[in-house]
Amino acid sequence: MNTTQKKQIRIGLLGFGAMGRTHTWAVRNLPFFYGALPFEAITAGICTTSLEKSRRVAEEFQIPLAVASEDELINDPTIDVIDICTPNIYHFETLKKALAAGKHVLCEKPLCISSAQAEEIAALPKRDGQITGMVFNNRWLAPILRAKQLVEEGRLGRILSFQGSYLHNSAADPNRPAGWKQDKRVCGGGVLFDLGSHVIDLMSFLCGRIREISGMSQIAYPTRLGLDGGAWETNADEAFYMTAITEDGAMGTMQVGKLQVGTNDELSFEIYGEKGALRFSLMEPNWLYFYDATLPASPICGERGFTKLECVGRYPDMIFPSPKAPAGWLYGHLASMHAYLSAVCEKNPFYPSLEDGAYVQAVMETAYASDTQKGVRLTVK
């Protein structure tokens, strides 16, 4: 009988919208998917918009502590990690308090609502062993992990061009009331903050950091229904289009939008190098397409062509379900949470870091600045 004491990691969760629910699921299900975890993680406290809601969530999801103020969790000596799943405009102040309290911090994207805020957060001192991280969960999908391996192995050679997109249909119907992610007063930006942060992080992760960018926003419906059912003036971009150049000279485009009729949760990219290429779509999460231009091109086509790599459920260290089981959207969040909590347990740095979040913030702010100048190309500072 193994009597080794596991390290307990107690999480204080701030916010319980879609992401708060997702993070709770990930924490609770880690023991099913990973064997012999060296830690035991529990969501020990919840703070939402009211004590009534916090209590309701706590009862439904068996969370021991429900509070009305985030300060109660931040200042609770029994809480190890502050998990930030609140609307974007609240991140800055919460991050400052949580870091000053010495808590480990996991923050949903985007880091803040301005590059100045993000730079201040990234520059704040951290205590020894204080682990911080961003939730760019798509990095942890099995095809993305494989794509990163192929890039680092040099299988694509020098990357020449790329295109990335993230398309939804949630703003395609002007009669559907706008949500908080469409309200600049709460989100701090529009679809660029929401979906664009994912695409910028992913293209930078795979293709290299962006040096220059140009951007153009689109508002298709200047007036739409608000949350109260009345007419509401749209104050944030509903789609955003970018061209970019990386530090190594690769050129590409990035498109994000919620106006695309017929789409669901369609994150996709194509990357083209001197020796190979990659294609991926989140709507086919089990597969990564790889073209190896070093293979013989004759006779006829030789051995060339896009190869469909069966990534499916082949995650490092994951023992359940079968590696042959089809992957799903939640797997990225699950693997991301496992990696972060393992870093907390082992006191290792975690990536993507808050500094990575600050970088993405700088790219988005530069894209917005370009938009105000009619799409002129600007250098990311």
| Spatial separation of the C-alpha atoms in residues 363 and 368, rounded to whole Å | 9
Contact 364, 200 (CB under 8 A): yes
Interatomic CA distance for residues 54 and 48, integer angstroms: 5
**pTM of the predicted structure, to 2 decimals:** 0.93
pLDDT digits (tens, 9 = 90+) for 278-323: 999 999 999 999 999 999 999 999 999 999 999 988 888 887 777 7
Q: How far apart are CA 136 and CA 181, in angstroms?
A: 17
Q: Is the dihedral of CA 142, 144, 149, 153 positive or negative?
A: positive
The predicted-structure confidence for 77-90, as pLDDT tens digits, reads as follows 999 999 999 999 99
DSSP 313: T
* pLDDT greater at residue 225 or residue 98: 98
pLDDT at 67 over 50: yes
Query: Per-residue pLDDT for 2 more than 60?
Result: no
User: Checking DSSP bridges between strand 251-257 and strand 159-167, what pairing results, if any?
Assistant: parallel
Tokens matching residue 130: 């204080």
How confident is the model at residue 1, as a pLDDT? 43
Q: Tell whether omega for the bond before 352 is within 30 degrees of 0, i.e. cis.
A: yes
- Work out whether strand 159-167 and strand 104-108 pair parallel, antiparallel, or are unpaired: unpaired
Q: Residues 109-123: what's their mean pLDDT?
A: 97
